[in-house]
Each structure stands twice: as structure tokens, then as C-alpha cells.
Structure 1
């Protein structure tokens, strides 16, 4: 093994990988023998009661003996004593076999130390620069990445994107040391099942609705579906290879599997991990045997590749303490939902909510599953306080309403047009090939603000507010799905009247003491890390729909004007929405202040009040001392730099044609919650009885 403390210059190492992003041919890169996929790293959980870091590594192999994985662990800081080095092997389990392809899970367990650890590993004696990962000290909260939409839609012209956000992630990781990646859904785009799986394609082409709905899942089609998802994962997770529906819809994102080998991940899933819109079509359609069989096949390989367990294993699949299992099997998957909870440091934690396994047209998560989830959170916070809870929801929950489009697309007045479109007479692409609804309706039905989900959405937001207020926990929601970046926000109501009166004093308090705002909750929306962003017109439409909404009589929701400056320094008219490819990170302020690179990037000190926006060469913009908010600046407010806070940064692509893959950083400070209160009032909340 090369010197333990070598410098890792990813810009020099992997520039050639980015240069080859769009030079792939039509041949699958999966070899006939050897390691077909991996290594990929997963963080299972961190147990601070027993001072134990738990993870796993996946290797998928064919026609070779089980690989041996050895490691060397030591302090990440070369100035520390080299006597702390630890050598060993990761124990392996062959936990699944299919058609001669063997899945090996390697157990990663380390005690937490009083220093950040660097773990370097070799596979059958082979050492690569990215065969390494970092474990923070037992007193340090994790540096965290959040990303989503890791793939292209079927018809995207990928030649318009010469860079790779994964290359940017690797370059930032070499300087920052990210400890975990939170995948917010659509880690793989499997919509090609309706093109490259002939049996499923034949079923889609059936014109007689009665015949289509009554079709049975044959053993041949079940095998074909399995083979499709297995091949998709081997190519994408193994080599970053993907192809869509046109000659220009293909790519090889080689930096993606490299990142998976060097930053442990925790994932939830969304519809494209299965097929576009799965769970948001009519109940009668989705109960069809063929469509349910597709969902079950996607779930099987999602668990294998993204969670390193087989649905046939009782222990790892059902009994690991990191799981929050749903109350009962989802109707269309036939398995329990698998939400995830773990600590991400001594005072930070994350909840990854499985919003797809139980999803139906009028349900995202069942009420009884919510009961299980919040009882677990109560149990966890009773063991050890939580300063920050990051909640992963695939679809944004604080986002402009588009209910008016739902009503148009579902109107009976469109029935004649939909009929003609299904017959191919007009408007090819107006309706989907599943149940003949308008193509965009499933996307709208997916949203928390859709009319079918308003009741559930408001219930979840109120429950998270109540939990945070009761225990002094700042809740931050992480979402993706929409292919652009923004930051939604809930906060205490800012009254518009009574200037000079007591209400105006309340407004000033909310603006000047956000660390005491019990209702403050951000929704960091970072999407897409790979897929194409929407046009400027969509960002402009969302800007027009992004005014202040009243969640209840005491809570407003809006969107933070984070992107008033574009990546080239020009002014942006739609300053709350960035339609460029992006990814985000959330870094504890304590870690920033103790780290040369991060401290120089943000240029902050404790006590600063920082605006949200572009991180320039002078760092974050700060409020002048002795200049508190008057109550007039109700959107562009500042947040304080305190020891227990976080900074959430969205890294937006500067130029999609540039192979150096550079980004600009846009940051918002997330203060901790410095007060508590039982039984927040939700008077005036719409669509929900809080006793539900």
C-alpha cells in the first residue's frame, strides 16, 4: 500500500474519467467474469451507547473466488502518532446468488476514536486512490452530502452535459472529508424497462383496457423483469453506464461508482428507482399483477444494491436497529416500507422516510406507520438529545402549489383529447402508456401539496414542528425530485399590520432571534445531481407561485431568495429557484471553524449574522454590527453563526459544457433551536385534524 498520508488530487486523477462521459458505445461494460460491481459503501448506523460505527461494503462477482478485503485504519491527520494504526480484514457474507452472480457483503465495524479516522482498504491486494473513507471522531458530527435524481430521463440529449457533478463531489470530498451521502431518491433511472424489457413493453401496448388490467404475471415475464433491473444496476452502479431511448441518450458517468467507493451512503427511494410515477396511478391499475410484479422486482434490487441486503434474509432485512419498518405490507410492492434512522454524530441524526413502498394515489405513508416513526423518534431523543434532525423526503414538502394544473389535467373536459391521444390520432406523448392519463399528472400527484395529499402533508409538518419544539431539536427536511434547487421555509408568522405596535415587535423578534423560533424549519431541495434541469420558464412560473402561504395562524411558509446572483455574477429575476444541476452538503459550524479549507471558504466567526446566498471570495455576506432587522426585510433575513448550527450549501453547476465541472456555492445558515415548548398551537391549520 502506498504511503498512508498521501495527497489525493482528484482533479488530476479523474479528469480523464469526465472526458469520457459521452464516448460510450452501445455495448454493456459488464464483463463475463470478475468483480461486476463495487465496491460500494453503505453507512448502516452509529451507536454512541456502545461507541460503534457500523457499515457495509458490497461486491458483486461472477466466476471468481470471494475477494479478500483488508484495511489499514489510522488518524486522518498525519501529525498524529502513527502508533494508532490498525490492520485487519472485513468479514464477508455471500448473501444472495442469481444466475451464477454472487453478492458479497463485507461487515465494517470500528470503535469511534477521539480523532477522525482514515480507513484505507485493498481488494485482493489491489490498492486504488479512492479505496478509502473517513469516520469522524466520537465527539464530532458528520459532514453530510445530500443529492437526488442521479440519472437522465429517457429522451434527454446527454451530449449537452460534458461535465459531472460527481467529479465536483470528489474534488470537494478530497478537501472537506464527507462522512456520509444521503441519497434522496432516484439513485437510478429505470424507466427504460418499458423499452428494453420486451414482455413488459408488449403488455403496455395492449389496447384493450380489460385485457390489460386482467393480465397475469407469467414466470417468463417475472424472470425478464429481474434480468432488466439486475443489468441496469450492474451497469449504472458498477460502471456509470446508461442508455435511453435515442442515440444521444447515453452516458458513462465513471465518477459515480468512484464516489460510491469512497463515501458511505444512506438511501431512500423514489419512483424512478422503479418506473416513472409508480404509486401515483389509480388503485385499480396498480393492483394489476404485471405492474405489481414490476414493483416487487425493482424493490428486490433496490434492497440488494442500495442497502446491501436481500429480501430473503430475515436478520439484516427485518431486524437491524437502523430500520423503521412499516405497519404492514404495501399494496403494490408486497413488502413493508423500510425507513431508516441513525445518528450522524453525538447530537445530530437523520430519518430517511420511505415514501414509495406504501404510496397510493391518496396516501404516501400510512397513519399507523407514522405512529411507529414518531414513537421511535421519541425513544431516540430520550436516550440522547438531538440538536439537528435531518428528515429525507424524496419529494419537496415546502414548494409552490400547482393544484390548478392538477384540476386541468384531471378534468373530464380533457376526456376526448385523451381518447384521441391514446389512439395515436393527436398529441403523441400527451398521455402515458400505463393508464392513459395525462403524462404530467403522475408527477403532480406525487407532490405533497397535491389535493389528495394535503391532509397528510399538513399532519406531517405539524408533527415535525411539535417534535422539534418539545425537545429543542431543529428539524431540516431534505428533498429532491424537481430537477432544480431551492430552499423552502416554515417560520413563525410575520405580521404585515400593526406597524409600531406589539405585533411589529413580534416580527422583529422572529427576524433577530431565529434560534428561538420554534416553527423555523427549512426544506433543502437539491436536484438534480445528473439529470437535466427545467427551462427558465419553469423557474419563472415557480417564482410567481412562491408567495407567502399561511400554514396555520402562527406559521408562514415561503421560499428563501437564495439565488439572486447567478453563477456568472449577473442578477437573476427568479432568485428563489436555480435551474442548474446541483448537489448540496450540510456541515456543522464547529467543523467549519476547525477546518482551514472550510473556514477560508465561508469566512465566518461565531456571532456573525449571515445572509443566505452566493458564497463569494469574501465568504458569506454578513449583517453589519449594530444593524438589527427592522421588520421590513421579511424574506432576505440573516441567521446567526453559533457553535451548534449547520450551514447548508447548494453547489450549482457553472457550465454544463465545461469538463472541469466547477460549481458555485449558495449557502443558508441553519441555527440550532435554543428553546423548547410543549403543545404548539396549530389553530387554523387546513385539511387536517391533528388527532388523526
Structure 2
């Protein structure tokens, strides 16, 4: 391979971020490609053959709100990453999808002294306070250090340097609940200042580009988002940014809604489109729970979590609008559309059926985050029974796994995606503690 000049894209104090950009043409057959430094490390990745569909691994929730939980539960933090890497060495993956919460930045509020002091202010004073230079310096160093720490985890790093990644952020990549806080707090100078630093850090460390110089795959750059799209042969990959424009009242802005039909038209000629939704589109109806906690003292964080969901009653009209748009594309262009999601710290499989379309969702999380309590999973199991009519001629169903008879996987997991010769998508949930994966063919 020819020498590639580095490109300087950012500076933080005495630290610098460099980018090396290169493209590898697809050959007739699968190819192993090496890259590295002349007198240093060298890495290898596998490129699929020209007519082949890629082998994909999907992950989400690469951390937790409290790192002490791993010792408390006697869980090896990166065990699922190690398992993924073991399978990769046996039969290499071509793409690695990261569906959100690649890092958990919630410690920002205790590790940055000026932000910790701001949090202690009365609410009225906090929203009026300026975003100071001390806050900015502490936040920039916090995100930079956290990314370096996360990307240096040996089990994950072994994959990050050998499998090309597609990444989309969710709230914890900023901080818990971003976008679902009250507007007065979301728009205050301190929240907005932190968001801009988190946004720049995400662009540098997850997308590998400067925010003011986005890569061609970032289709949402024209409206200020990180929405991405890719075509690999007759496979499309669509990754909407569901966090940048989020408020308590919406998920995406009208500017994005105006662009969406044109973005989806770019998948003309595809047989299958994989859509990464950082929060599940197919999930239990929790409207009653969400309305109840509005009147329950001390449940603000739970309210934020429920408001984050596509299925929040506040987002219902926008949710159905998105389903109609995607379902219409699937029906009119005769292509298969499958949603990939994470966020809920459970594995799951569900389907939305409408007039002339069927849209499956495969949910996998977390690769690091521990599973929730048995009580929580059992409640979801009960709430997910049966088939729900969500609109005229449109139904939603959480489908039990044949191997367990249950709708949710309450264990850490990641998802393997391959295509067979007939073009069917084979999904394998690689579950901690299970010798064999759980399987679904789409």
C-alpha cells in the first residue's frame, strides 16, 4: 500500500488528533488488507468480495453509569468484547456497528469541579449561569480522557483496529437523558456548552473527522446532524441521528423530516436496508407507566428514560409518521427493511406489520452494561404479550425466542448478522452464559 500522509484535525492542550484516510477497493474474492506504521505496529482487516454481503457484528451500551457494578456483580467488564474478538479471529467480520452509548459520560458531573458546583445551585440560578472557560476546559479534558480510556480497553481495541466501524451516539455519549430534560434546562448556557464539547468529541473519536469537515457518509451535515448512510452492493445502511435535535416534544426537526424522503431515495436498487435506531422502535407500550410517574415524587430520572423512547406517548405522532414513511419505502420499492437497536440492556426481537410491509427489529444490548433486574424483565414480559394495534392496519408484536419461550434476553449480549445465499438475514444473539446463540432468520 502507498504511503498515506496524516491530516491534523484537532488540538487539546499539548495533545493532537490525526486522521489517516484510505479506501480499499473490493476484489473478486475476500481480501485481507494490512495497514500500519513503517517502523511500528501493523493491523489487518478483511474486505468482503465484490459480490458478497458483509458479515456484521452489532453492539450497544459499552459501559455503565457506575463502574463499581462489575466488581459488585463479579462480572468481567469486557467479557463480551473478548468473546466477539475470539469469533472474529476465527471468521473475520467486515463491519462493526455501534448503536449508541459507546461511552458513559455521566461522571462528568462529579469529575469536573466547576460543573459539580453548578449542579448544586438552585434551579433558577443554574439555568441563568454562564458556561465559563473553567467549565469548558474541564469538560474538554473529561471527554478526551474518557474516549482515550474507552478506546484503550484491550478487548475492544483489538476490534476497533481490525474491523471498520459505523457509530451513532445516544444520550450517555453526551450525558444521561440528553434531549429529554425540560426545555429551560436543555437550552441553558451550561447544558448547551457541554453539548457542543460532547458533539465535537463524538465527531473526532467516533466518526474520525472534525465537526466542520464531515465525511461524505454524513448525510445529515446539511441540517447539523450526524445522520449517516452507506450502500454496499445491494445492501443499504441507514443511521439516523436521534439525539442531536431531540427535545421533550420531538425526536427530529422538521428540517430533517424534509430531508428524509430524499435520503431514503438514495437506497434505490437495494434489496435490503439495515436501519440503526439508537432507541427501539418495536417495544412494549409503557404509556400508562409514563403517565403515572408524572405524578410520582422523585421519579424525574425515570421520566427522562421513558421520554427517551420512541414509544413515549409524547412522541406517538412522530413515531407513527416514521413507521409510515419507512413502511411505504419498503412496500413501494419491494425491499426488506430491518431495524437494529440497543439501549434497553436486553436482547429482543419484534415486528411491525402494516399494509404491504413487514419490518422486523433486532435488539441487542449491552455488550458491557449489565442486564436489569429479573423483576424489571418479568414486568416487560407481561406488558409485551399479544399483538398490539398501533394504527389502522398496523400491528406490533414482540416475538418470543423459540429457544427460551421468552421475549427478552436478560443477559449481556451482542448480535452477529450474516446473509445466506437466498439473501435471508441470519441473526445470532451471542449471550453471556449460553453455549449456543439464539437465532432468528429474516
Range of TM-score over shorter length: over 0.9
Please list, as runs of the form range in 1=range in 2, the aligned pairs for 1:353-364 lying within 5 A after superposition.
353-364=240-251
Deviation at 1:199, TM superposition (A): 0.7
Pick the aligned partner of 2:270 from 376, 380, 386.
386
Deviation at 1:402, TM superposition (A): 1.2
1:337 is aligned to: 225
TM-score normalized with structure 1 length:
0.61
Deviation at 1:551, TM superposition (A): 2.7
Q: Which runs of 4+ in 1 moved over 6 A?
A: none
Q: Residues 229 and 563 from structure 1, CA distance in 2 versus in 1: closer, same or farther, beyond 3 angstroms? A: farther
1:395 is aligned to: 279
CA offsets per residue over residues 289-337 of structure 1, 9 Å max, x none?
00111111111100000011112x43xx2xx431222664xxxxxxx11
2:63 is aligned to: 151
CA offsets per residue over residues 197-242 of structure 1, 9 Å max, x none?
1111111111x221111011111111111111111111111x22xx
Counterpart CA distance in 2 for 1:204 and 1:119 is 49
**Is the aligned partner of 1:323 residue 2:102?**
no
The number of residues matched between the two structures is: 438
2:198 is aligned to: 298
Pick the aligned partner of 1:179 from 87, 94, 108.
94
**Is the aligned partner of 1:669 residue 2:437?**
no
The answer as to whether partners of 2:311 and 2:319 remain within 8 angstroms in 1 is yes
Counterpart CA distance in 1 for 2:272 and 2:311 is 25
Please list, as runs of the form range in 1=range in 2, the aligned pairs for 1:119-268 lying within 5 A after superposition.
119-127=33-41, 131-154=43-66, 156-159=68-71, 160-162=74-76, 164-206=79-121, 208-237=122-151, 239-240=152-153, 254-268=154-168
SS at match of 1:540: helix
Deviation at 1:452, TM superposition (A): 0.9
Q: Residues 492 and 287 from structure 1, CA distance in 2 versus in 1: closer, same or farther, beyond 3 angstroms? A: closer
Counterpart CA distance in 2 for 1:305 and 1:663 is 34
Structure 2 segments unaligned to the other structure (5+ residues)? none
Counterpart CA distance in 2 for 1:583 and 1:286 is 32
CA offsets per residue over residues 507-530 of structure 1, 9 Å max, x none?
xxxxxxxxxxx3211111101000
CA offsets per residue over residues 655-674 of structure 1, 9 Å max, x none?
xxxxxxx753111111xxxx
The answer as to whether partners of 1:563 and 1:578 remain within 8 angstroms in 2 is no
Please list, as runs of the form range in 1=range in 2, the aligned pairs for 1:261-280 lying within 5 A after superposition.
261-280=161-180
TM-score normalized with structure 2 length:
0.95
With CA pairs under 8 Å and 6+ residues apart, which has the higher RCO, 1 or 2? Answer: 2
The answer as to whether partners of 1:476 and 1:522 remain within 8 angstroms in 2 is yes
Counterpart CA distance in 2 for 1:114 and 1:364 is 42
Q: Cα RMSD between the aligned structures?
A: 1.7
**Is the aligned partner of 1:550 residue 2:389?**
yes
Q: Residues 132 and 326 from structure 1, CA distance in 2 versus in 1: closer, same or farther, beyond 3 angstroms? A: closer
Please list, as runs of the form range in 1=range in 2, the aligned pairs for 1:420-569 lying within 5 A after superposition.
430=298, 438-491=300-353, 518-546=356-384, 547-562=386-401, 564-565=403-404
The answer as to whether partners of 1:483 and 1:531 remain within 8 angstroms in 2 is yes
SS at match of 2:24: strand
Deviation at 1:277, TM superposition (A): 0.2
Pick the aligned partner of 1:587 from 418, 421, 434.
418
1:98 is aligned to: 12
1:653 is aligned to: 432
Q: Residues 90 and 533 from structure 1, CA distance in 2 versus in 1: closer, same or farther, beyond 3 angstroms? A: same
Counterpart CA distance in 2 for 1:203 and 1:363 is 27
CA offsets per residue over residues 277-298 of structure 1, 9 Å max, x none?
0100111111110011111111
Counterpart CA distance in 1 for 2:218 and 2:207 is 11
Counterpart CA distance in 1 for 2:374 and 2:334 is 39
Deviation at 1:171, TM superposition (A): 1.1
2:253 is aligned to: 366
2:182 is aligned to: 282
1:410 is aligned to: 294
